[in-house]
Amino acid sequence: MKIKIAPSMLSADFANLESDLKKVEAAGADYLHVDIMDGHFVPNITMGPDQVKQLRRVTRIPFDVHLMISEPLLYIEKFVAAGADLITIHVESQGDTMEAIKLIKKGGIEAGIVISPDTDVSVIKPFLDHISMVLIMGVYPGFGGQSYIPETTQKIKTCRDLIGERAIDIQVDGGINYTTIKEVVEAGATVVVSGSCLFNGDMKENIKKFESIIGDQVMWRRQ
Ligand code: DX5
Ligand code: ZN
């Protein structure tokens, strides 16, 4: 199975978004990771559904929308309508997580759950038969460019065991670079998010470099 690469838009040049998005698409990325922050769930603000809708007009790359907002239930339908292909919600946010998963799937798109660094991975258990992705944060959500928290690797391994034979991706977000990517993929990650590393220099070359580092890992996973 191919390990999927999801560049995080947080590190894009917001004055030149269209051209950066074209670069992400041309580089062969699998998703565009879209970080949505509300200044309440996390101490930073990015954008809302109207902006995502505008971005949808200029690129066909699948949008992986990571909701770092306090009340996802109030906004899920808007992000579905804006063109999200996958929405992940934090288990730490307000409202019923199962209800949020159902609402996302009702929109005809994929649903996933996210756990922050201080959350035990066992919380994912009740949702496993209802989701297609678990996102494990490698940093405290809110900002790009932070260092990978080493304890994340064990959480990925535990997550892989809990998932068992189910067709669920494990996505890792935060602190992924040329040094940390091998470790997370070896532990069981199948979707890798990276912002500051991939947007530094030539996106295509950087993705190639990622793929060459994890190349020997690609073959054995879920044959
Ligand atoms: C952090 C965001 C990440 C962030 C990753 O809250 O969810 O997606 O952009 O950035 P890097 O790869 O720079 O750690
Ligand atoms: Zn993210």
pLDDT per residue rounded down to tens, the chain (223 residues): 689 999 999 999 999 999 999 999 999 999 999 999 999 999 999 999 999 999 999 999 999 999 999 999 999 999 999 999 999 999 999 999 999 999 999 999 999 999 999 999 999 999 999 999 999 999 999 999 999 999 999 999 999 999 999 999 999 999 999 999 999 999 999 999 999 999 999 999 999 999 999 986 554 444 3
The answer to whether residue 177 is domain-embedded is yes
What's the total number of domains in the chain?
Answer: 1
Active site residue 202: no
Pocket test residue of 173, 177, 179 for ligand 1, highest count of atoms within 8 A of CB? 173
Which among 31, 178, 196, 207 is the best mutation to test ligand 1's pocket, defined by most ligand atoms within 8 Å of the CB?
196
- 120 in active site: no
Q: Is residue 95 a part of any domain in this protein? A: yes
Query: Of the listed 35, 38, 64, 169, which one is catalytic?
Result: 35
Q: In three state form, how does the secondary structure of the chain look?
A: CCCEEEEEHHHCCHHHHHHHHHHHHHCCCCCEEEEEEECCCCCCECCCHHHHHHHHCCCCCCEEEEEECCCHHHCHHHHHHHCCCEEEEECCCCCCHHHHHHHHHHCCCEEEEEECCCCCHHHHHHHCCCCCEEEEECCCCCCCCCCCCCCHHHHHHHHHHHHCCCCCEEEEECCCCCCCHHHHHHHCCCEEEECCCCCCCCHHHHHHHHHHHHHHHHCCCCC
Q: Quick one: pLDDT at residue 127?
A: 98
Residue numbers of the domain that contains 20: 4-217
Look at residue 223 and tell me if it is in a domain. Answer: no
Q: 94 lies in a domain? A: yes
* 222 in a structural domain: no
Q: Per the domain annotation, does 17 fall within a domain? A: yes
Residue 60 CA: distances (Å) to CA of 29, 66, 172, 222 = 11, 18, 23, 27
Find the CATH number of the domain harbouring 88.
Answer: 3.20.20.70
State whether the beta carbon of 116 lies less than 6 angstroms from ligand 1: no
